C-alpha cells in the first residue's frame, strides 16, 4: 500500500489517497485520536470513485465525527481500471433492456454482478490486510453500503467484518439469496420505499433471507438517492453499537 | 382532572395518578425541568393499565430522560372500567377463532376494534385538553404505540398531535386503511418481523397506505414483546427530532 497524497479536510479529517497494486483507494481518519480507531469499509456502486467522491467523503466525515476510520477502493472495471468484455456486454444488455422497458433477465443480472463479486471481494480483503497493518487503525471492522452482493459475500467469507450496513438494491442474483442465509453478523439494512431502481418485494425477501439473529430494516420514503439525514445517523449509531 | 396520588421514582421522575371523570390515568414528568416540556401520549393494548404498568413506566422513564412528559389512560372496557356487551362478544369470538386455529374474520376485527376507536379517541382528546392546561406541560404532542387503529384516528382528527410512533399490529379493520391514507404527520413504525400475533404483509400494506411524506419503518427480529432496546432508543430520537 502506497500513499500517493494526503490532505486535511476543513473539519480536520485526514484524507489519504493510496494505491494497492493497481487498485486506487482513499482512507479517511478522524481529526484526533490517541488510540487506534475501528474501521468501516465504504462500499459504493460501480460508477467510479471520482463520481462517487462527494457522497463518499460525506459518509467519511460523518463516520469520523463518531470516531471511525473509513476506507474505500475503486471497484474492478470502474473508474480508470481496466474493463473486461463480459462486464461491458452485460452493462450494454442492461441498458438495452431498461431503455426498452423490458424486465432485466436473471442472465443479465448474473453476468453483471457475479463476476464483479468474485473479483471485488478478494480485493477488499487485501485492502483490509493492508489497512489493519497501519498503526492508527485497528479492528473490529464494519462494511457499509455499495453493491449489496459484494457486502453479502464479504459478510460470509471475511471474519474480521463483524457488522454490516447494507443498502437494499435491485439486481441481486438468485445465488446471492443462498449466500444471504449464511450471513450471521448483525445487519442494518436501508430500504428506500419508492426506489425507482429497486424492486421492493425483492428487497424484503432478501432481508427475510439473511441468517443474522440481529437484523434491522429501516425503510424510508423517497427515491434511490433520497436517504434522509436521520437514516444516515441511525446507520452510524448501528456501527457505534457494534464496533465500539 | 384530579390527581389522586403522587410519587417520585428512584430516577427522580414524578409519577402522578389522576382521574378524568371515570377514566383513570397516569402522568409522568421529568425529574427536573425549568420550562414546560413536550408531551408524548403512551398508547397500550387493551389489557388494563395495571397489567401494562411495568412496560409503560419503562417507556415513561426512557422518555423522561430525554425531556418528555408522558401520560396514559385506561382504555374503555379495560381494567376496572365498565365493559360493553358487544366488545365482550367480539373478544369471545376472537378467542374462539384463535383457539380453533381459524382465520379471524373481518367481522370480528371490526366489532373488536371500531367501537374501541370510536370511544377511546374522544377520551384521549379530553385528556389532552386537561394535560395541556397544566403549567408544566406544553405542546407539541406525540402519540406512541398501543392499538394502532386508535393512533391512526388520533393522527387524522387531532391537530395537536404532530408526530406518531406506531407499533405495527394485526387486527386492523379494512376501514382504517382508508383513514391511514389521510394521515400526514411524520410517522415512525415499529414492526417485529416474526411477530406471532401479526400478519407481516398486512403491516407492510398499512405502512404503504399512510399518506405521510415522512414515514419510517423499523423492522427488527423477534416476537411481539421482543423489541430490542436500540429500537426503543430510535423511537425516542424520532420524537426528539419532531417535538423539540
Domain boundaries of chain B, sorted by first residue:
2-80+120-243
Residues of B in contact with A237 (CB under 8 A): 230, 234
Cell numbers at A127, concatenated: 485492502
Q: Which residues, in sequence order, are CB contacts of A228 under 8 Å at separation 6+?
A: A220, A221, A222, B214
The C-alpha atoms of residue B237 and residue A102 are separated, in whole angstroms, by 42
CATH topology of domain B2-80+120-243: Rossmann fold (3.40.50)
Residue B234's alpha-carbon distances to A30, B13, B163, B231, B241, in angstroms, are: 25, 21, 14, 5, 10
pLDDT of residue B199: 87
Cell numbers at B8, concatenated: 417520585
Q: Do B221 and A213 touch (CB under 8 A)?
A: yes
For cell 407481516, the residue is B200
**For residue A17, how far is the Cα from the chain centroid?**
18
Q: Do B193 and A217 touch (CB under 8 A)?
A: yes
Q: What SS3 state is found at A203?
A: helix
The C-alpha atoms of residue A75 and residue B19 are separated, in whole angstroms, by 65
For cell 412496560, the residue is B55
**For residue A181, how far is the Cα from the chain centroid?**
19
Residues of A in contact with B239 (CB under 8 A): none
- Confidence check: pLDDT of B198 > 90: no
Q: What SS3 state is found at A74?
A: coil
The C-alpha atoms of residue A190 and residue A217 are separated, in whole angstroms, by 6
- Which residues in A53-74 are b (16+ Cβ under 10 Å) and which e? eebbbebbbbbbebbbbbbbbb
Stronger pLDDT, B14 or B226, i.e. the higher one: B14
pLDDT of residue A149: 96
Q: Are A163 and A139 a contacting pair, CB within 8 Å? A: no
Nearest CA in chain B to A220: B216
- Per run of 10 residues, the mean pLDDT along chain A (length 244 residues) is 96 97 97 88 95 96 95 96 92 93 92 96 98 93 94 98 92 95 98 87 95 97 88 94 95
Residue A72's nearest CA partner among A36, A30, A28, A112 is A28
Q: Are A48 and A156 a contacting pair, CB within 8 Å? A: no
Nearest CA in chain B to A235: B234
Residues of B in contact with A204 (CB under 8 A): 204
Give the nearest partner residue to B217 out of A208, A217, A230, using CB atoms. Answer: A217
Structural class in CATH, domain A2-243: alpha beta
Residues of B in contact with A216 (CB under 8 A): 218-221, 230-231
Residue A184's nearest CA partner among A216, A160, A159, A212 is A212
Report the alpha-carbon angle B179-B181-B182, nearest 5: 65
ipTM here: 0.85
B residues 204-243 lying closer than 8 A (beta carbon) to A? 204, 207-208, 212-221, 228, 230-231, 234, 237-238, 241
Q: Are B144 and B236 a contacting pair, CB within 8 Å? A: no
Give the nearest partner residue to A216 out of B208, B214, B219, using CB atoms. Answer: B219
Q: Please, is B143 exposed, middle or buried when counting C-beta atoms within 10 Å of its C-beta (0-12, 13-18, 19+)?
A: buried
The C-alpha atoms of residue A96 and residue A113 are separated, in whole angstroms, by 17
Q: Are strands A14-20 and A2-8 parallel, antiparallel or unpaired?
A: antiparallel
Cell numbers at A46, concatenated: 460501480
Q: Do A218 and B218 touch (CB under 8 A)?
A: yes
What are φ and ψ of residue B156, in 5° steps? -80, -45
Q: Do B237 and A221 touch (CB under 8 A)?
A: no
Can you give A57-108 as a three-state secondary structure string?
HHHHHHHHHCCCEEEEECCCCCCCCCCCHHHHHHHHHHHHHHHCCCCCCHHH
Q: Are A74 and A24 a contacting pair, CB within 8 Å? A: yes
pLDDT of residue B39: 97
- Confidence check: pLDDT of B225 > 90: no
| Per-residue DSSP letter, B102 | P
The C-alpha atoms of residue A169 and residue B90 are separated, in whole angstroms, by 43
Stronger pLDDT, A223 or B64, i.e. the higher one: B64
Q: Are B41 and B72 a contacting pair, CB within 8 Å? A: yes
Q: How confident is the model at residue B81 (pLDDT cuts 50, 70, 90)?
A: very high
Nearest CA in chain B to A193: B208
Q: Are A20 and A1 a contacting pair, CB within 8 Å? A: yes
Q: Do B220 and A221 touch (CB under 8 A)?
A: no
Q: How confident is the model at residue B210 (pLDDT cuts 50, 70, 90)?
A: very high
Q: Do A234 and B231 touch (CB under 8 A)?
A: no
**Average confidence (pLDDT) over B135-151:** 93
Q: Which helix (H) or strand (E) holds B238?
A: helix B229-243
Average pLDDT score, chain B: 94
Q: How confident is the model at residue B111 (pLDDT cuts 50, 70, 90)?
A: very high
Nearest CA in chain A to B228: A214
Output the DSSP codes for B46-76: SS-HHHHHHHHHHHHHHHHHTT-EEEEEPPT
- Confidence check: pLDDT of B197 > 80: no
| Per-residue DSSP letter, A48 | -
Q: How confident is the model at residue B219 (pLDDT cuts 50, 70, 90)?
A: very high
A residues 168-187 lying closer than 8 A (beta carbon) to B? none
Q: Are A68 and A37 a contacting pair, CB within 8 Å? A: yes
Stronger pLDDT, B78 or B224, i.e. the higher one: B78
**Average confidence (pLDDT) over B111-127:** 97
pLDDT of residue B174: 94
Residues of B in contact with A238 (CB under 8 A): 230
Amino acid at each position: 500500500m502506497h500513499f500517493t497524497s494526503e490532505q486535511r479536510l476543513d473539519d480536520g479529517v485526514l484524507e489519504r489517497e493510496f494505491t494497492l497494486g493497481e487498485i486506487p483507494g482513499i482512507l479517511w481518519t478522524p481529526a484526533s485520536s490517541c488510540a487506534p480507531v475501528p474501521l468501516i469499509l465504504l462500499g459504493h456502486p460501480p460508477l467510479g470513485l471520482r463520481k462517487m467522491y462527494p457522497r463518499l467523503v460525506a459518509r467519511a466525515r460523518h463516520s469520523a465525527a463518531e470516531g471511525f476510520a473509513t476506507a474505500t477502493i475503486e471497484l474492478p472495471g470502474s473508474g480508470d481500471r481496466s474493463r473486461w468484455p463480459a462486464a461491458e456486454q452485460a452493462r450494454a444488455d442492461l441498458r438495452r433492456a431498461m431503455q426498452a422497458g423490458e424486465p432485466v433477465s436473471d442472465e443479465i443480472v448474473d453476468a453483471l454482478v457475479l463476476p464483479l463479486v468474485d473479483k471485488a471481494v478478494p480485493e477488499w480483503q487485501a485492502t483490509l490486510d493492508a489497512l489493519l497493518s497501519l498503526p492508527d487503525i485497528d479492528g473490529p471492522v464494519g462494511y457499509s453500503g455499495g453493491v449489496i452482493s459484494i457486502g453479502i459475500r464479504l459478510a460470509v467469507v471475511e471474519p474480521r467484518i463483524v457488522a454490516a450496513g447494507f443498502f437494499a438494491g435491485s439486481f441481486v442474483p438468485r445465488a446471492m439469496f443462498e449466500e444471504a442465509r449464511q450471513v450471521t453478523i448483525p445487519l442494518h439494512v436501508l430500504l428506500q420505499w419508492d426506489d425507482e431502481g429497486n424492486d421492493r418485494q425483492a428487497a424484503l425477501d432478501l432481508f427475510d433471507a439473511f441468517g443474522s439473529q440481529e437484523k434491522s430494516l429501516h425503510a424510508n420514503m423517497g427515491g434511490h438517492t433520497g436517504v434522509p439525514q436521520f437514516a444516515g445517523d441511525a446507520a452510524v449509531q448501528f456501527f457505534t453499537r457494534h464496533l465500539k
